[in-house]
């Protein structure tokens, strides 16, 4: 671990105080002398994400971090004195998963000058605050797909160790790009880039398959869960075009083959039509954004079983609030070019039966607003149940956590949320959750659900 990363772990406790995160949330849940604590969750209406249907009057028996049993309330005898989470008037769902986040990023820092003004410590502070906001919004799991080396790995470890509250993190390293591509420091003088330490850069450059192989192996060495490649140009960068393919097919294939050999999935940032298709041919596990996909690309994704992770909410934020925070005109123009097409092509992919996983690009807009995307997923073709499953069972499948997360079944983590209205009738209710439980521990309870029987 680099010195600044150790420091970020140490100073993060001060962020807990500054951000108002209750200290009790950082403590480990007590265990009884006879074993893990048992909690009974009464669910008036349960969407367990194993189907598109609701089950009424169900009890989940939670033992320690995991669900021991899910059964009709009539079949469960709750002993006197037991801890009960009474959601008998509410709708209970699995904890949500956002497959495309940047937890170190701030949505009010768009000007490229921030690349040279901020230090890794800023990212560390941001990560602690943003992780808490994300968890309180009902997202008990995220995939962080791009940050400084190896911020997301350290964040995952710190949250797992109980240093501060946050979602379960599937961590990538810095995205792999090409010289002059999306993510590179385009437009700066060479001297500026040379003054920066490698640990301060949120990308790694690889020109040629062998360079890609080396970087993927290095990232695996440092503990990443997933490999992120930048197959095409992007929107929030300088000097490149979203539709332009930047990595070659051979470079993408090397990233996939090397990553898969090490047991890591590969996510490809890809806006452009040909870059999407080459990434799918190369065997990537997900296409991120997918803005300019065509009919052939849609059929290829369906045939290969490639997931689409399309951030179709943040167009509103980029073309609105982000301009106030200094988003350069070049980026505004690029977003105007791809935003509408991305939503239209998302609808085509849904109609065609492409696998969809929920991902928002959180950090481009404020963390904690992740659930605002559900509205757009339903508007552009998904059923409410399908959109929820994209953020639960499908998301867990994509990030290779289906055995532990994504549905409310015996043996899985007790990660769940509750809302006071039926999200199948009005998906927007997920924008404010009342209760958040992660690993059997309640982190948010706005309705006084936790009590002794």
Segment 281-304, tens digit of pLDDT:
999 999 999 999 999 999 999 999
User: In this model, does residue 102 exceed pLDDT 70?
Assistant: yes
Contact between 53 and 97 (Cβ < 8 Å) = no
For 323, the token pair is 């301009």
Tokens 């039509």 locate to 273
pLDDT, greater one: 323 or 345? 345
Per-residue model confidence (pLDDT) at position 443: 98
User: In this model, does residue 380 exceed pLDDT 60?
Assistant: yes
Handedness of CA 220, 223, 225, 230 (dihedral sign): negative
Per-residue model confidence (pLDDT) at position 43: 98
Helix (H) or strand (E) holding 348: helix 329-352
| CA dist list (Å): 208 to 44, 177, 205, 224, 259 | 56, 11, 10, 22, 16
* CB count in 10 Å sphere of residue 27: 10
Q: What is the DSSP letter of 30?
A: P
My answer on whether omega of the bond before 150 falls inside 30° of 0, hence cis, is yes
The C-alpha torsion from 373 through 374 and 379 to 385, rounded to 10°, is 160
pLDDT single digits (tens) 178-236: 987 777 666 666 665 555 545 456 788 999 999 999 999 999 999 999 999 999 987 66
Contact between 32 and 64 (Cβ < 8 Å) = no
Is 398 strand, coil or helix? helix
Per-residue model confidence (pLDDT) at position 320: 77
Confidence band of 24 (pLDDT split at 50, 70, 90):
very low
Q: Report, as residue numbers or ranges, the catalytic residues.
A: 228, 361
Per-residue model confidence (pLDDT) at position 203: 81
The rounded distance, in Å, linking the Cα atoms of 308 and 290 is: 7
The rounded distance, in Å, linking the Cα atoms of 359 and 225 is: 17
Confidence band of 82 (pLDDT split at 50, 70, 90):
very high
Helix (H) or strand (E) holding 226: strand 226-230
Instruction: Work out the burial of residue 341: count CB atoms within 10 Å of its CB; fewer than 13 is exposed, 13-18 middle, 19 or more buried.
Output: middle
Average pLDDT over residues 66-94: 97
User: In this model, does residue 118 exceed pLDDT 90?
Assistant: no
**Percentage helix, strand, coil, to 5, in the chain?**
35, 20, 40
Q: What is the DSSP letter of 79?
A: P
Quick one: which of 137, 138, 146 has its CA closest to 101? Answer: 146
pLDDT single digits (tens) 337-364: 787 899 999 999 999 999 999 999 999 8
Per-residue model confidence (pLDDT) at position 70: 98
Q: Which residues, 6 or more positions from 247, have their beta carbon under 8 angstroms from its beta carbon?
A: 176, 177, 178, 181, 212, 229, 230, 231, 232, 255, 275
**CA-atom Rg of the chain in angstroms:** 22
Contact between 269 and 287 (Cβ < 8 Å) = no
Contact between 234 and 242 (Cβ < 8 Å) = yes
> What are the backbone angles phi and psi of residue 307, rounded to the nearest 5°?
-80, 145
**Which domains are assigned to the chain?**
36-93+411-452 (2.30.40.10), 96-398 (3.20.20.140)
Q: What is the DSSP letter of 365?
A: S
For residue 148, what are the β-bridge partners?
Answer: none
Is 433 strand, coil or helix? coil
Determine what percent of the chain is predicted with pLDDT higher than 70. 83
| CA dist list (Å): 82 to 30, 77, 150, 355, 412 | 14, 11, 42, 41, 21
């Amino acid at each position: 671990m680099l010195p600044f990363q150790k420091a970020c772990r140490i100073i993060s406790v001060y962020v807990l105080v500054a951000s108002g995160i209750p200290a009790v949330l950082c403590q480990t849940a007590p265990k009884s002398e006879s074993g893990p604590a048992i909690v009974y969750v009464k669910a008036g209406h349960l969407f367990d994400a194993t189907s598109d249907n609701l089950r009424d009057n169900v009890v989940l028996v939670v033992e320690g971090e995991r669900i021991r049993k899910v059964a009709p309330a009539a079949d469960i005898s709750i002993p006197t004195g037991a801890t009960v989470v009474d959601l008998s008037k509410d709708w209970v769902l699995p904890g949500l998963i956002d497959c495309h986040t940047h937890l170190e990023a701030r949505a009010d820092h768009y000007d490229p000058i921030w690349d040279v003004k901020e230090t890794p410590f800023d990212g560390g502070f941001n990560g602690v605050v943003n992780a808490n906001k994300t968890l309180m919004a009902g997202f008990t799991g995220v995939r962080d797909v791009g940050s400084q080396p190896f911020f997301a790995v350290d964040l995952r470890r710190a949250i797992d160790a109980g240093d501060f509250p946050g979602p379960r993190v599937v961590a990538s390293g810095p995205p792999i790009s090409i010289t002059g591509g999306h993510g590179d420091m385009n437009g700066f003088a060479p001297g500026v880039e040379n003054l920066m330490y490698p640990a301060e850069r949120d990308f790694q450059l690889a020109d040629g398959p062998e360079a890609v192989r080396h970087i993927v192996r290095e990232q695996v060495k440092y503990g990443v869960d997933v490999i992120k490649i930048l197959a095409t140009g992007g929107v929030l960068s300088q000097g490149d075009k979203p539709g332009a393919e930047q990595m070659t097919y051979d470079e993408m294939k090397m990233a996939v083959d090397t990553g898969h050999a090490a047991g890591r999935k590969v996510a490809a940032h890809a806006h452009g039509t040909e870059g999407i298709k080459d990434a799918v041919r190369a065997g990537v596990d997900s296409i991120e954004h997918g803005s300019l996909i065509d009919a052939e690309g849609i059929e290829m994704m369906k045939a290969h079983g490639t997931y689409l992770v399309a951030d179709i909410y943040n167009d509103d934020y980029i073309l609105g609030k982000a301009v106030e925070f200094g988003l350069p005109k070049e980026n505004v123009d690029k977003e105007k070019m791809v935003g509408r097409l991305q939503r239209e092509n998302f609808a085509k992919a849904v109609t065609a039966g492409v696998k969809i996983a929920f991902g928002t690009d959180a950090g481009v807009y404020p963390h904690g607003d992740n659930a605002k995307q559900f509205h757009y997923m339903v508007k552009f073709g998904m059923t409410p149940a399908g959109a929820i499953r994209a953020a639960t069972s499908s998301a867990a499948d994509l990030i290779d956590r289906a055995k532990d997360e994504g549905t409310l079944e015996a043996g899985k983590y007790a990660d769940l949320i509750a809302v006071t209205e039926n999200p199948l009738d009005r998906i927007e209710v997920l924008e404010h959750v009342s209760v958040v439980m992660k690993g059997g521990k309640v982190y948010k309870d706005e309705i006084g659900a936790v009590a002794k029987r």
